Amino acid sequence: MTGPALILVGPPGSGKSTVGRMAAERLGLEFRDFDDDIERVHGVPAGELVVKLGREKFQESEREILADLLPQHDGVLALGGGTPTAPGVAELLEPHHVVFLDVNLDQLLRREGLVTLHPWLLPNPRAHLKELLNTRRPVYAAVSAATIPTSERTPEDVLADVLATMPVTS
């Protein structure tokens, strides 16, 4: 096994889980959500774990769990929103086909459930997300073969663009 056929990265709420699940179905592959793997290992949802452990320890754990997972999963993988920024993760992603789902701040604030899932965004989710988008966009882009805009687009349109980036296999 050579690892995931497709890895999706992007800010929380960019559509990684939604589009990742659709892509897996279309490709006839298994879908895995990295936040579920984190929760399985720690017994706490990823968003809460950030608050419990602090960002540094959380990221160390993300890198370890990802290093174990990559050789075991050959389907579609939606990473955690912050996973590509964890030290050592860019190197782990290097051999794989990674796609960045981009989204703008206004769209993000309109998407559901963001703060419930990510309590570390409090007390000012707008300011936090604005800063997060500015600092992380170059990191997401650097680990990715393609950047797909998702703002004001349907998941189906995003899916079509994602599938068009897939390397042709013979």
Ligand X SMILES: Nc1ncnc2c1ncn2[C@@H]1O[C@H](COP(=O)(O)OP(=O)(O)OP(=O)(O)O)[C@@H](O)[C@H]1O
Ligand Y SMILES: O=C(O)C1=C[C@@H](O)[C@@H](O)[C@H](O)C1
Give the binding site for ligand X (CB under 6 A). 10, 12-18, 35, 78, 81, 111-113, 117, 150, 153-155, 158
Whole-number Å distance between alpha carbons of 67 and 70: 6
Residue 143 main-chain phi, psi, to 5 deg = -95, 0
Whole-number Å distance between alpha carbons of 150 and 85: 21
Of 3 and 82, CB closest to ligand Y: 82
Residue 169 in marked binding region: no
Residue 16 in marked binding region: yes
Instruction: Give which of Mg ion, ligand Y, ligand X, none residue 158 binds (C-beta under 5 to 8 Å, depending on kind).
Output: ligand X
Binding piece for Mg ion, criterion CB under 5 A, among 16-24, 60-68, 93-101, 140-148: 16-24
- Sheet containing strand 146-149, edge to edge, reads 31-33, 76-78, 6-9, 98-102, 146-149
| Contacting positions for Mg ion (CB under 5 A) | 17
